[in-house]
Structure 1
Amino acid sequence: MSPTRFPFWLASVLVLLASALAGWLAWTTTLDRLLDETARRGDNVLQLAVSALAGQLDRYERLPSLIAEQTVIRQLAADPENPVLRAQVNGYLERIQGQLGASDIYLMDARGETVAASNHATPTSFVGGNFAFRPYFSDAIKGGLGRFYALGTTSGKRGYYFGAPVHVGETIAGVLVFKIDLDAIEETWRGGDYAVLVADPDGVIFLSSRPDWLFQALAPLGEDALARITETRRYAERVVIPADVTEDRVYLGQHVLRLAGVEFLQRDLPMPEAEWQVHVLIETAPARQGALNLAAVAMLSVGLLSLLAGILWQRRLRMSERLSIQAQARAELERRVAERTAELRQAQADLVQAGKLAALGQMSAALSHEFNQPLAAARNFADNAGVLMDRGRMEEARGNIDRILGLIDRMSSISSHLRSFARKPGQKLSAVDLSEVIDASRAIAELRIAAAQAVLVMHLPEDLPPVVAGPVRLQQVLVNLLTNAADAVEGRATRRIDLCAEVEGDMVVIRIDDSGEGVPEAVRDRIFDPFFSTKGVGRGLGLGLSISYNIVKDFGGDIEVTDAPGGGARFTLRLRQGVEAAAVSRAAE
């Protein structure tokens, strides 16, 4: 069917729609993939950040309890007004503070008043300060482990506080506080293309790789949250303000946050023991730009392809009539080729049969001699048998009759082999008894061999395995080779033909040597071509070896011609060893 013409405006609209659709698909699929890759990168950063924080907290968690068990600590907790003990504990805390890498270590009595501190000699000493409002004190004075992150009311420095109860006998006489600094971890987060935030239970950012985001709430604070912050003085005198969050939603399966006018992909991971929420924010702009670039490429590609398709369509319109004529001509040509192919296949089958009949024609003279001799002998034996019977010599007459029967059997065997050779073969391969096929081939070719006054010498092992072949077609190959050998040695001083077979690996190799002139090396490549012959005019069609070659190849074997060791030609057949006929049977043609 010839192509139809589209209006230009309709084609333009379709191209624009296709470009827009391709751009949208490229945008969404690419952005989804890039955001997913960004999320996986954020998860890796998040795991590293949480691991660093957890490792820092775990490192110091047990130290407050160990320090609280020291004798001098317990003595001062029992007698907080003792100036000697205060001086000893101040010096002790100052020494271990430097050794353990703590920010501050101090001891509070049961009322929350600090009685000794590692910073006792500094202007911002905690000694005398009361921190009973801190949760780490209230939790520890009840016998638990106090944990709290806050901005120091005295030092103004951020830190994480561990509080451990100090036991004096059966009572809790005070609280040992161990403060650590997390600023070093925060410093490692800076400089990347991502932001790491740590928020308290109320959503207030107290650790951040972006300093300008500190002490901002990711969500509006309720009255209860403001009351807790005020009561615990978590951020001292700092005023907590809402972060500039203008968008917080799920987009393409990812949590997207717009903070300070910049869109981020947000990944979160809680730290339950510290009651923190760790966030990693990665800008989505690179992902959106990558998706936009690919969408532009997709739209441009669709446009260019549409332009190319339009050009090709116009050319097709111009060539449609020519193509239609060519199609009709091609159909007519294919019909004729099919007819010729069928004729050639029939001709090939006829040539195969003709080759066999030609071989039979060449053996006709020998056949006549072979049949005339037994017939003449049988006539003589019959005449003699009649005379012997008239004379009553029955045993001798019976011997003549047995000889006549033997001659008849020989002629029947020759006739049977010839009928088998002349008929068209079957089309299946099977496991063929090679010895039987060689014997039948010898019986047929024996007449031509005898006519050439040649000697056939065979070397066949008793345990010769079967081969994969068709018995009639393999017989045809062997008869062709044996009669060719007879032709080659006819008229020579030495007229000898050798046939041997042996097993080589998984193949059975048959070699037929003659004492003729051999095949010149210059024509060996053409020896298996149809209608090529080295014999004289009128001595064959030049089809025997070509037919034999195709038959052997069809068996999955090989045939080649080389020089025989003693001079003359050697034809070598290689056939696959046979297995059970049912296992190897298959269509040959």
Structure 2
Amino acid sequence: MVRAGLQRRSRWMLALVAIAVAGIAVWQATYWTRAFALDNLRERSAGVLRLTVDNLGVELARFIFLPRVLSTNPALLSAVDTRADGVALSRADRTLEQIEGVTGAADIFLYDVGGTVIAGRSARGGPSVIGENLAGTPFFMAALEGRLGRFFTVETATRVPIYAYAHAVRSRGVVRGVVVVVIDLGRAQDKFKLLSAEHEIIVSDREDVIFLSSNPDWRLQSLRPLTTADRKAIELDGRYSGVPVGQSSIGIQSRQGDLLTLSTGLSDNHPGPAGPEFLRLERPLTKADWQVAILVDTSLVRRQTAVAGFAALIAVISLLLLVTAVYQRRRRIHERLAFQTDANIRLEERVHERTAELTETNRQLHASVLERQKAEDNLRLAQEELIQTSKLAALGQMSAGLSHELNQPLAAIRSYADNARAYLERGQADKVLNNLSGIGELTERMARIIRNLRTYARNEKTPVRPVLLSDALDQAVSLLEAPLRDAGAVLRIENPDRKERVMGGDIRLQQVFINLISNAIDAVTGQPQRDILIAVTCEPEVVTCTVRDSGTGISPDDLGRVFDPFFSTKEVGMGTGLGLSITYGIVQLFGGQITAANHPDGGALFTLRLRRVTADRNTAEGKT
């Protein structure tokens, strides 16, 4: 009876231990899942935040030197010297209007030293967004003192945030006026949803007033209730031109590190019940004294945490059941296993004694073979990694063009889909089919781009074999369509026989053409004539491919070094100096030759000679 009691007590203790283990496992699973999910969310969100800050910084930096450049414009100098001359003022008006169209500035105005507008009109159909007279304002006075004036405000009528630069206009060493360039920040705000649909992006001033936001309800609200000092500072510098701001905050109910909970309402007195939890990351835009922040809903993290906890609970229960079953089975076979184990131990000891010498010999031989193989593998791996690094570097240079090539079909697909929905509601089935057909064609175009990109990025490990030269050339040209278009280069290919096969590798031959064509694009960029010619000719044993550009050619002193590693004539940061070196190594691996020269009519000429695949050679390669 005592033994039965002890067994029952042991079972209860095991049950309690099992429950404790299950609880700890579920808690650990949910804790670490939430931590990892939040870390991943922070990493993705930090990238979006950096891109947003960079875009805003670029938008402001685009126009920072424009006022200084305009201050030397002859038409503006004439206008400030002869303010009563209607012809001079009209010419200044036309000049400012033309410059607005070219630069993309929202407005450009010319003021006299008294702060009155004398030239320029609002491109958006209204009066000056800054005011008829700026005399005495800090940024106008800064311009008169020879410094670059900066000013930020919100238009009263449209409530669109703008940013302005001001610079003095000097005539014969005397300040005669001020030119003001206005930037429409609403365009930057329109790009927020394009950067990321899952993030809420906000930009606030030093008083935490939100003036740019991807959420329209948050604009001109505040991140916290404004104090009397905050409102007085906003009123003094005229930042919001009388537009009421900070009437209520966005309702932060609680904060824990970079996690915060918003209320469901916007009133500070009646915030409403707790709303969703957000991850908030922020970064300053120091030049404008702004704070850029992004908020991302953590509901996906909560779902992942719940799923992980449930899965951990199921796993622990399953494990406990398995342990119980194994324990019962082990009890039944324990004696038999003990006997077999003893016999196995004696047998293993005899085998070990008889094979010790042979094992040692084999170990030494195996170590010698492994050392030799390791040396060969390290050499081959270094060569393959260098080639792969060059390909990835080329992909990085092409990334901006490829992004444009994909964004255009995506925008068109969106338009087709919206049109198809409208036609479907009107019952116009034939037009719906036409739009769906357009979507299919654009999808195939995107798939072709991605397929070529994925093929090029793959690390090819196959040996040298017969390949179709035209395929590798076509795929290389396809990946370089965007750089060719951006450079304004005209590429012509003379390949009369597109079925010629050479000894090589698909991916590595494609990389050879990408390196040569990319160098040709760099050579013709900025030249009056931007032509690239690729010519393919066949001989009995060799296929010759020449790549010629209309650039300035190669310096005679550099001709003997163009294939040396790390040699480059480009500016620092524009090239690694490995492209032609890797190209030379790949061609040598194919059993071919590559040379560089200057064409008699100008430009560089690269000649690539590869072994041609004849019927006999193709048969021999197939047998091997």
When the two structures are superposed, what TM-score results if normalisation uses the length of structure 1? Answer: 0.51
Q: Take 2:95 and 2:301, find their aligned partners in 1: how far apart are those partners?
A: 56
Distance 1:328 1:160, change over 3 A: closer
Distance 1:331 1:297, change over 3 A: closer
Partner of 1:238: 243
* Residue among 210, 214, 236 paired with 2:215: 210
Q: Take 2:158 and 2:342, find their aligned partners in 1: how far apart are those partners?
A: 102
Q: Take 2:158 and 2:128, find their aligned partners in 1: how far apart are those partners?
A: 8
Distance 1:334 1:66, change over 3 A: closer
Partner of 2:256: 249
Distance 1:151 1:17, change over 3 A: same
- Following superposition, the deviation at residue 331 of structure 1 comes to 7.8
In the alignment, is residue 226 of structure 1 matched against residue 231 of structure 2? yes
Q: Are 2:282 and 2:291, in contact at CA under 8 Å, matched by a contact in 1?
A: yes
Q: Are 2:106 and 2:124, in contact at CA under 8 Å, matched by a contact in 1?
A: no
- Following superposition, the deviation at residue 166 of structure 1 comes to 1.9
- Residue type of the alignment partner of 2:46: D
* Equivalent residues in 2 for 1:365-404, closer than 5 Å: none
- Residue type of the alignment partner of 1:71: P
Q: Are 2:156 and 2:243, in contact at CA under 8 Å, matched by a contact in 1?
A: no
In the alignment, is residue 323 of structure 1 matched against residue 341 of structure 2? no
- Residue type of the alignment partner of 1:323: H
- Residue type of the alignment partner of 1:201: R
Partner of 2:204: 199
After superposition, what is the alpha-carbon deviation per residue over 1:252-282, rounded to whole angstroms, capped at 9, x for unaligned? xxx2233352222222222211222221222
Q: Are 1:26 and 1:294, in contact at CA under 8 Å, matched by a contact in 2?
A: yes
In structure 2, stretches of 5+ residues that fail to align are: 1-5, 264-274, 359-624
- Residue type of the alignment partner of 2:252: V
Q: Are 2:203 and 2:292, in contact at CA under 8 Å, matched by a contact in 1?
A: yes
* Residue among 13, 34, 42 paired with 2:16: 13
* Equivalent residues in 2 for 1:90-129, closer than 5 Å: 90-119=93-122, 122-125=125-128, 129=132
Partner of 2:582: none
Partner of 1:140: 143
- Following superposition, the deviation at residue 136 of structure 1 comes to 2.9
- Following superposition, the deviation at residue 215 of structure 1 comes to 1.3
- Following superposition, the deviation at residue 150 of structure 1 comes to 1.7
Which of 1 and 2 has higher RCO (CA within 8 Å, sep 6+)?
1
- Following superposition, the deviation at residue 225 of structure 1 comes to 2.9
* Equivalent residues in 2 for 1:249-288, closer than 5 Å: 249-250=256-257, 255-260=258-263, 261-288=275-302
- Residue type of the alignment partner of 1:119: S
Give SS of 1:129's match: coil
Q: Are 2:109 and 2:181, in contact at CA under 8 Å, matched by a contact in 1?
A: yes
Give SS of 1:217's match: coil
- Following superposition, the deviation at residue 182 of structure 1 comes to 2.8
Partner of 2:306: 292
Q: Take 1:229 and 1:29, find their aligned partners in 2: how far apart are those partners?
A: 45
Partner of 2:37: 34
Q: Are 1:113 and 1:131, in contact at CA under 8 Å, matched by a contact in 2?
A: yes
* Equivalent residues in 2 for 1:299-338, closer than 5 Å: 299-316=313-330, 319=332, 323-324=334-335, 326=336, 329=339
Partner of 2:163: 160
Q: Are 1:64 and 1:178, in contact at CA under 8 Å, matched by a contact in 2?
A: yes
Q: Take 2:69 and 2:345, find their aligned partners in 1: how far apart are those partners?
A: 102
Give SS of 1:218's match: coil
Q: Take 1:295 and 1:56, find their aligned partners in 2: how far apart are those partners?
A: 46
Partner of 1:384: none
Q: Take 1:10 and 1:305, find their aligned partners in 2: how far apart are those partners?
A: 18
- Residue type of the alignment partner of 1:238: V
Q: Take 1:323 and 1:79, find their aligned partners in 2: how far apart are those partners?
A: 111
Distance 1:311 1:55, change over 3 A: same
Q: Take 1:22 and 1:282, find their aligned partners in 2: how far apart are those partners?
A: 29
- Residue type of the alignment partner of 1:142: E
* Aligned-pair identity (%): 28
After superposition, what is the alpha-carbon deviation per residue over 1:9-29, rounded to whole angstroms, capped at 9, x for unaligned? 433332222111111111111
Distance 1:135 1:190, change over 3 A: farther
In the alignment, is residue 74 of structure 1 matched against residue 81 of structure 2? no
Q: Are 2:206 and 2:291, in contact at CA under 8 Å, matched by a contact in 1?
A: yes
CA RMSD of aligned residues (A): 3.4
Q: Work out the number of aligned pairs and report it.
A: 335
- Residue type of the alignment partner of 1:229: I
Q: Take 1:148 and 1:127, find their aligned partners in 2: how far apart are those partners?
A: 9
- Residue type of the alignment partner of 1:98: G
- Residue type of the alignment partner of 1:292: A
Distance 1:316 1:163, change over 3 A: same
Q: Take 2:239 and 2:205, find their aligned partners in 1: how far apart are those partners?
A: 10
- Following superposition, the deviation at residue 209 of structure 1 comes to 1.4
Q: Which moved more, 1:164-173 or 1:15-24?
A: 164-173
Q: Take 2:48 and 2:12, find their aligned partners in 1: how far apart are those partners?
A: 53
Q: Take 2:348 and 2:59, find their aligned partners in 1: how far apart are those partners?
A: 86
- Following superposition, the deviation at residue 298 of structure 1 comes to 0.8
Q: Take 1:337 and 1:91, find their aligned partners in 2: how far apart are those partners?
A: 103
- Residue type of the alignment partner of 1:233: G
Q: Are 1:124 and 1:155, in contact at CA under 8 Å, matched by a contact in 2?
A: no
- Following superposition, the deviation at residue 303 of structure 1 comes to 1.5
Q: Are 2:107 and 2:123, in contact at CA under 8 Å, matched by a contact in 1?
A: no
- Residue type of the alignment partner of 2:118: V
- Following superposition, the deviation at residue 231 of structure 1 comes to 1.7
Q: Take 2:92 and 2:346, find their aligned partners in 1: how far apart are those partners?
A: 115
Give SS of 2:206's match: coil
Q: Take 2:343 and 2:126, find their aligned partners in 1: how far apart are those partners?
A: 109
Give SS of 2:170's match: strand
- Following superposition, the deviation at residue 103 of structure 1 comes to 0.8
Q: Are 1:115 and 1:127, in contact at CA under 8 Å, matched by a contact in 2?
A: no
- Following superposition, the deviation at residue 294 of structure 1 comes to 1.0
Give SS of 2:15's match: helix
Distance 1:237 1:127, change over 3 A: closer
Partner of 1:22: 25
Q: Take 2:131 and 2:312, find their aligned partners in 1: how far apart are those partners?
A: 72
Larger Rg: 1
Q: Which moved more, 1:273-282 or 1:80-89?
A: 80-89
- Residue type of the alignment partner of 1:247: S
Partner of 1:47: 50
Q: Take 2:207 and 2:290, find their aligned partners in 1: how far apart are those partners?
A: 9
- Following superposition, the deviation at residue 156 of structure 1 comes to 4.3
- Following superposition, the deviation at residue 84 of structure 1 comes to 4.5
